[in-house]
Amino acid sequence: MSPDEGASWAAASAPSAAEVIARQPSLNPGELPIHDLMLHGWIALFGSSVAAMRSLSAALGVISIWLVYLVVCELFEGSALIRDDVKIVAGLSALVFAVNLVTIKYSREARMYPLMLAALLAQVTMFLRALRVGGFANYAAVMLLTAIAIASNFAAMLIPATEGLWLVYIIARAGWRPGDANARRAWAIALALAAGGFILLPKLFLSMHAASSGSVGGWRKPPAWYEPFALFNKATGSFAFPILAILAIWGVICGWRRGARDSIAFAILWMWAPPLIMVVVSYAIAPVFVERYALSCFVPFFVLAALGIFELPGDLVRVGALVLAVAFSIGHIVSYDRKPHDAQYREAIAAADSALKPGEVMTAVPSYAIQVLHYYLPADQLDRAVRYDPSAPSAAVLILGDQNLAPGEAQSYKKEYPHTVARLRGVTVLQR
């Protein structure tokens, strides 16, 4: 279990839904308790083992494959592509999405990000449908799904912000004429997006205040200018990325020539606007350029790559390109899985426990990792682990994680706890 998963478990394992809601703001301040409540119910059905809790994320990840198919069907509905061609592109997009590491690794964690991604994919699907045909039910769906997505994680606001830019374009293209049907639908969707955010407004301000006053992460650095471009390379793999990028560029060129210009333009905006917004916010307010916050932005990249595969001349060439894209994507997964990416907190807790004398306690840094200690310790020994308090250090043993520390911070802890009990993967056990 990771420290982040420990926070989700600590909230979701509460004895009642009311207690989940009470615990959530301090444990997971970047969201509202929708995911923790879902995980609470999941634990009641399947237990609180790490595998059981992660299976909720895995289920949401599988649902997202289907949602990618739906969003592509809506994206190209009414475009220059005939319906059968759209279904092929949608299937190819779902396949490329399903075999990419960036869409898999977050479905292996007991966290809220697969819920956010699934909610955003459903929201974008209904956004495109409402923009195309209107209808009160579609507007209501946009409002509800916007609220669910933002409630799952505040980073989801990047997508309604991007959609707002698209609506401005649609209204401006209509000459700001209220009588234009496209403009009327755009205004109605804008109201739906605003209503989706307004529903959450009271809780949103309280939770955002809690997030900003907590440890937002002094370890995060402002992104370099090239980070939006590197984001896609890092996520898809150094070998798969060039293939996917070339296919995506080809998809843009061919789709534009075909006349599916609105579909292509929206996909490009969806792909690039959120990372660029994160860069602006990182320099204007605080560093927030994090891969998992932009998960949905990989979907249009995969869609454009799938379109590029479809637009290649001849079935043999298409199959060859698809095989290359899938093979290198799977190769990225295999390469990733060959190296462990977890921290051995369970082993560290056992080492710390054996080093403690009667009456002594252990602690952990980063401090929110205390929930992992509580997860692995026996229920009758939870008092052997206390939250780290720099103003009144009382623990005899410190479990020090390697990640999410500011530069030089680890050395200060090692001076306070000079004796090494155990060096494990991703974590060190230190003693006074």
Q: Tell me the pLDDT tens digit for each residue of 232-283.
A: 999 999 999 999 999 999 999 999 999 999 999 999 999 999 999 999 999 9
**Band of pLDDT at residue 204, cut at 50, 70 and 90:** low
Q: What range defines the domain where residue 32 resides?
A: 3-337
Q: How confident is the model at residue 9 (pLDDT cuts 50, 70, 90)?
A: very high
Q: Do 30 and 142 reside in the same domain of the chain?
A: yes
Last residue of a domain, one of 287, 309, 337: 337
What sign has the CA pseudo-torsion 169, 172, 256, 68? positive
Q: Single out the residue in 305, 337, 369 at which a domain terminates.
A: 337
In the DSSP assignment, the letter for residue 157 is G
Instruction: Supply the mean pLDDT for the chain.
Output: 92
- Is the CB of residue 309 less than 8 Å from the CB of residue 318? yes
Given pLDDT bands bounded at 50, 70 and 90, which one contains residue 319? very high
The percent of residues above 90 in pLDDT, for the chain, comes to 79
By three-state DSSP, how is residue 391 classified?
Answer: coil
Is 0.75 surpassed by the pTM of this model? yes
Same domain, 270 and 378: no
For residues 244 and 319, membership in a common domain is answered with yes
Q: CA gyration radius for the chain?
A: 24
Asked if 246 and 139 sit in the same domain, the reply is: yes
pLDDT at 176: 83
Question: Total domain count for the chain?
Answer: 2
How many residues are there in the chain? 432
**Cβ 81 vs Cβ 258: under 8 Å:** yes
Among 281, 305, 337, where does a domain finish? Answer: 337
What is the 8-class DSSP label of residue 222? P
Same domain, 161 and 298: yes
Helix or strand (DSSP H, E) at 285: none
317 and 369 in a common domain: no
Q: Are residues 162 and 306 in the same domain?
A: yes
Considering the domain architecture, whether residues 307 and 377 belong to the same structural domain is answered as: no
Nearest partner of 385 among 395, 422, 393, judged by Cα: 395
157 plus 298 within the same structural domain: yes
Q: Are residues 76 and 117 in the same domain?
A: yes
Exposure of 175 in the CB half-sphere (CA atoms within 13 A): 4
> Phi and psi dihedrals of 269, rounded to 5?
-65, -45
Do residues 191 and 156 touch, judged by C-beta distance below 8 A? no
Residues 6+ apart with CB under 8 A from 103: 61, 64, 97, 117, 295, 298
Instruction: Give the tens place of pLDDT for each residue, 73-124.
Output: 999 998 889 999 999 999 999 999 999 999 999 999 999 999 999 999 999 9
134 exposure class (CB count in 10 Å sphere: 0-12, 13-18, 19+) = middle
| pLDDT, position 178 | 77
Residue 312 sits in the same domain as residue 352: no
Question: Do residue 18 and residue 122 come from a single domain?
Answer: yes
Task: Return the minimum-mean-pLDDT range out of 103-112, 167-176, 199-208.
Answer: 199-208
Alpha helices (H) in 285-380, listed in sequence order: 298-310, 315-337, 345-355, 370-376
CB burial of residue 91 (10 Å; 0-12, 13-18, 19+)? middle
Per residue in 33-75, pLDDT tens?
999 999 999 999 999 999 999 999 999 999 999 999 999 999 9
**What is the pLDDT averaged over residues 26-35?**
89
